[in-house]
Structure 1
Amino acid sequence: MSDVNGAIVLARDLTLSVVSHGHGGLLTSLLDDLDNQATLAGTKVVVTLNVAEDLSFDSYANILVTVVRNSVPKGFGANHNAAFEHCTTRWFAVLNPDLRIAEVEPFSSLVRLAATIPNVGVLAPRILSSCGETEDAVRTNLTPWSLLLRRHGRRGVVTPDLPTRRGRAFYWLAGMSLMFDAAAYRQIGGFDERFFLYCEDYEICARLYANGYALAVDRHSKIVHDAQRDSHRSVKHLVWHLTSLLRVWTSMSFWSVTLRR
């Protein structure tokens, strides 16, 4: 990471991946936010259009946008794994299109924190709702009873003081904004493409943890998330969500975390 006139410049260290499922205006707003950040000058942003969208990406003077247009829609994990093929940097960050940067981009702070954590695999900023409240984007193990508690409104925001790694209580990071060490991402094979809708993020966090990598939250950085919970509105998406949950609960990743082996 270089330093120009006191400002951290991430272009040589960071690749961003954003997948749009017809998000149009939300995607454009996020890209505008990124383009307005001086510290992101020259940073590659891989934008994957999972469905056809009539959008132009010629107006960005600061970030370097690479556009991937899918002929056939793919899942969350498959899209970000494909975007990772464009990554030649130390860090690879995945972002939902329904994010906004309210003030300062979070990545410089995440990189600074990462330098203090041995063998870190993934980091996340603090996630705020559009109302400014901290979202429950850091969660304890994904179990049937934890979902039952959430169903009854007992979500409980986890605010860890330390990174988690083998030997410490496991927590996982919701997938709307994650920054991976690219070498760790590559070593574990990226996202498991069999998982869909709110389970890909759990599974990759569990797999990083099981492989000895640390997971961490940076409470000094933040990003705003306007949650788009499709599984709450679509029967099809709900079925995919439940299918992925069953895959989680029968996976080695889940049992490795649950049994701490």
Structure 2
Amino acid sequence: MRSATLHGPKEMRVTVSIVSHGHGQMIIPLIEKLLDFPEIGTVIITHNIPEVISLPESPRVIRRWNSAPKGFGHNHNDAFCLCVDDFFCVMNPDIDFVENPFSALVTELVASGSAMIAPKVVDSTGCVEDSARHFPTILGIVKKVLGISDGRHMELSQMNPFHPECVAGMFMLFKYDGYRKLNGFDTRYFLYYEDIDICARIWKAGASVLLLTPVVVIHDAQRKSHKSFKFLRWHISSMLLFFRLHMWRLPQVATAYRSKNNW
């Protein structure tokens, strides 16, 4: 990953990184809402494939175009090189908001000493998604295939704040220095499991992952790995890489853990 910019982070502002895979008009209302939130310093849009779209004109919007598609982690790491704010938020283009989530998330992230925080994620019908998960294991994969369990934390509705083992990459808010210490996402993952990997590395570094359950965002999930052989192949390849890197070495995480390592 390239080094950060020469400018120091601005006080209590968030840079948001969004990668468009031809999402087109979907990202326009998302950008407009983000620009209305006072905590947002910069919105970085990475066009991972060619598309023609007019975005809201603002000095706070930065656009990047890839000459060839890059992986999830690679795109967000490149965007981080343009971050001049205190916080860096990785966000899917199909996120929507009930209300501004950033004030509460930033406040809790600073107070907790955690390295990364996420909101509770619901679908368009209001059902809670499986964004807070246990680390994957061979037994857990078998249970998922058999339809016994999808690996989600069942304690999500009872605890606040809540320390899941890992959270999904559709919305992750990092401290600038925390993301830099981690060297961002591991770019050996092209797609899938890079979010689980970075959570594992956070816990191994002595920091924590936090989910603020009263803060809610909406996600229109696109489970493409269930529909396309290409995405399924990436999913399986990333899963095998994760097991090779972390199998038998996953951190033991207590859900009530409160980080003493202030990141």
Q: Structures share a fold, TM > 0.5?
A: yes
Offset, 1:143: 1.2
Quote the residue 1:76 is aligned against: 72
Quote the residue 1:22 is aligned against: 22
Offset, 1:188: 1.4
Offset, 1:38: 4.1
Quote the residue 1:257 is aligned against: 250
Offset, 1:33: 2.5
Quote the residue 2:178 is aligned against: 184
Quote the residue 1:7 is aligned against: none
Quote the residue 2:53 is aligned against: 55
Alignment of 1:1-261 (within 5 A): 12-35=12-35, 37-40=36-39, 43-57=41-55, 59-60=56-57, 64-102=60-98, 104-118=99-113, 120-151=114-145, 152=147, 154-155=149-150, 156-158=152-154, 159=156, 160-164=159-163, 171-251=165-245, 253-257=246-250
Q: Is contact 1:203-1:254 (8 Å) kept? A: no
> TM-score if structure 2 supplies the norm length?
0.84
Secondary structure at the counterpart of residue 111 of structure 2: coil
Offset, 1:258: 5.0
Deviates more, 1:12-21 or 1:73-82: 12-21
Secondary structure at the counterpart of residue 241 of structure 1: helix
Q: Is contact 1:34-1:101 (8 Å) kept? A: no
Alpha carbons of 1:148 and 1:30: their partners in 2 closer, same or farther (altered >3 Å)? Answer: farther
Amino acid at match of 2:83: C
Offset, 1:97: 0.3
Offset, 1:190: 0.5
> TM-score if structure 1 supplies the norm length?
0.85
Q: Is contact 1:17-1:46 (8 Å) kept? A: yes
Alpha carbons of 1:229 and 1:197: their partners in 2 closer, same or farther (altered >3 Å)? Answer: farther
- Distance in 2 (CA, whole Å) between partners of 1:86 and 1:138 is 28
Amino acid at match of 2:90: V
- Distance in 2 (CA, whole Å) between partners of 1:91 and 1:254 is 31
Deviates more, 1:220-229 or 1:78-87: 220-229
Secondary structure at the counterpart of residue 115 of structure 1: helix
Secondary structure at the counterpart of residue 257 of structure 1: coil
Offset, 1:115: 2.4
Q: Is contact 2:203-2:251 (8 Å) kept? A: no
Offset, 1:154: 2.3
Offset, 1:233: 1.2
RMSD over aligned Cα atoms: 2.1
Deviates more, 1:64-73 or 1:194-203: 194-203
- Distance in 1 (CA, whole Å) between partners of 2:207 and 2:201 is 9
Q: Is contact 1:11-1:43 (8 Å) kept? A: no
Offset, 1:209: 0.7
Unaligned runs of 5+ in 1: 1-9, 165-169
Deviates more, 1:240-249 or 1:11-20: 11-20
- Distance in 1 (CA, whole Å) between partners of 2:118 and 2:205 is 19
Offset, 1:185: 0.9
Unaligned runs of 5+ in 2: 1-9, 254-263
Deviates more, 1:186-195 or 1:75-84: 186-195
- Distance in 1 (CA, whole Å) between partners of 2:168 and 2:143 is 17
Alpha carbons of 1:73 and 1:257: their partners in 2 closer, same or farther (altered >3 Å)? Answer: same
